[in-house]
Structure 1
Amino acid sequence: MIETIVFDVGETITRDDRYWASWADWLNIPRHTLSALVGAVVAQGKDNAEALRLARPGIDLAAEYAAREAAGRGEYLDESDLYDDVRPALSALRDLGVRVIIAGNQTARAGQLLRELELPADLIAVSGEWGVAKPDPVFFERVIEVAQAAPSATLYVGDHPANDVFPAKASRLRTAHLRRGPWGHLWADADDVVAAADWRVDGLTELVGLVGG
């Protein structure tokens, strides 16, 4: 029985549209160009930050991030950044008595912004606060600590096989691969993803039926 469900953030809870569009605008390059570069590095199995390095060779990402914040063009989230099924699914899961946690690779600022949205979740945690990021096993040790349930009763949901499904499975958690965003679509039917995921879903509301059933 699943007692706790832990959700990734980017392309699971939130859309990445605004994130990449804001970077394209900041670097003064067409949004389509940066989007295509993101797709290219995803297909190569590289970290998506490589897209920014391709767009601006030698870029100091930390310095640019700080400059954006200082210019008032830093991270921002509002209701439009959430996928439509997020609030209904999380609310329904809590109604079933499931502990709902959101935990992903985000900055401390993003964690603050997520909490300001007052999502129906028992806990929101991000790598920038924990000091460790996926796919590091220590991240998933923290997940197990906050889950307040056995690993076999804890389900981790995410779109990225290398950051979500595989390391969560290695940490003895149950896993659900979400066909959403470039990572979720690209590797949805890969043999290793099919083998590692306990469930494969196209939307978060499907989880309600899985748990309730």
Structure 2
Amino acid sequence: MIETIVFDVGETITRDDRYWGSWADWLDIPRHTLSALVGAVVAQGRDNADAVRLARPGIDVAAEYAAREAAGHGEALDESDLYDDVRPALSGLRKLGIRVVIAGNQTSRMGELLRGLDLPADLIVTSGDWGVAKPAPEFFARVLEVAGAASRETVYVGDHPANDVHPAKRAGLRAAHIRRGPWGHLWADAPDVVAAADWRIDSLTQLTAILAD
């Protein structure tokens, strides 16, 4: 029996459109150009920050991030950044008596913004809050701590095989891979993802329906 569902954030709960669009604007390049570079690094299995480095060779991404924050162009989040199925799915899971946790690789600031949206979740936490990020085993150890359930009764839901599905399975959790965003679409039918994922879904409400049955 599944007692807890833990959700990734980027391209699972929230769209990354605003994030990459703001970076393109800051770098003064067309948005579709940066999107193409994101796709290129995703296909190569590289860190998505490499897209910014391809756009501006030699850039110090951390320093540039701080400069954006100082200039008032830092992280932002509102209702429009959520996928349409998020509130119905999370509400549906809680009605089933399932504990809902959101835990992803985001800054502490993004955690504050997420909590400000009053989502139907029992807990919202980020790697910035914990000081450890996916795919580190320590991150998933923390996931199990807050899940309040045995590993086989806990599901981690995410779009990224290397950051979500595989490390969750190594930690003993069950895993749902969502075909959403560049990572989710590109790797959805990869043999290792098909073999590892307990469920492969196209929407969060699909997962709610599966568990309701």
Shorter-chain TM-score bucket reads over 0.9
Partner in structure 1 of residue 187 of structure 2: 187
Q: Output the aligned Cα RMSD.
A: 0.5
Partner in structure 1 of residue 27 of structure 2: 27
- Determine the C-alpha separation between the residues in 2 that align with 1:194 and 1:68: 39
- Determine the C-alpha separation between the residues in 2 that align with 1:13 and 1:111: 12
- Determine the C-alpha separation between the residues in 2 that align with 1:185 and 1:97: 30
Q: Residues 158-203 of structure 1, C-alpha deviation per residue, up to 9 Å, x if partnerless?
A: 0000000000000000000000000000010110000000000000
Alpha-carbon shift at residue 208 of structure 1 (Å) = 1.2
**Residues 118-137 of structure 1 aligned to structure 2 (within 5 Å):** 118-137=118-137
Structure 1: stretches of 5+ with no match in the other structure: none
SS at match of 1:176: strand
AA partner of residue 196 (structure 2): A
Structure 2: stretches of 5+ with no match in the other structure: none
Is 2:38 the partner of 1:53? no
The number of residue pairs the alignment matches comes to 213
Partner in structure 2 of residue 167 of structure 1: 167
AA partner of residue 170 (structure 2): A
TM-score, normalisation: structure 2: 0.99
- Determine the C-alpha separation between the residues in 2 that align with 1:37 and 1:196: 28
SS at match of 1:42: helix
Alpha-carbon shift at residue 132 of structure 1 (Å) = 0.4
- Determine the C-alpha separation between the residues in 2 that align with 1:176 and 1:210: 11
Q: Residues 107-141 of structure 1, C-alpha deviation per residue, up to 9 Å, x if partnerless?
A: 01100000001100000010011000000000000
Is 2:208 the partner of 1:208? yes
Alpha-carbon shift at residue 210 of structure 1 (Å) = 1.6
**Residues 10-25 of structure 1 aligned to structure 2 (within 5 Å):** 10-25=10-25
- Determine the C-alpha separation between the residues in 1 that align with 2:47 and 2:60: 16
Which of structure 1's runs of 4+ aligned residues deviate more than 3 A? none
- The percentage of aligned residue pairs carrying the same residue is 79
- Determine the C-alpha separation between the residues in 1 that align with 2:176 and 2:91: 18
TM-score, normalisation: structure 1: 0.99
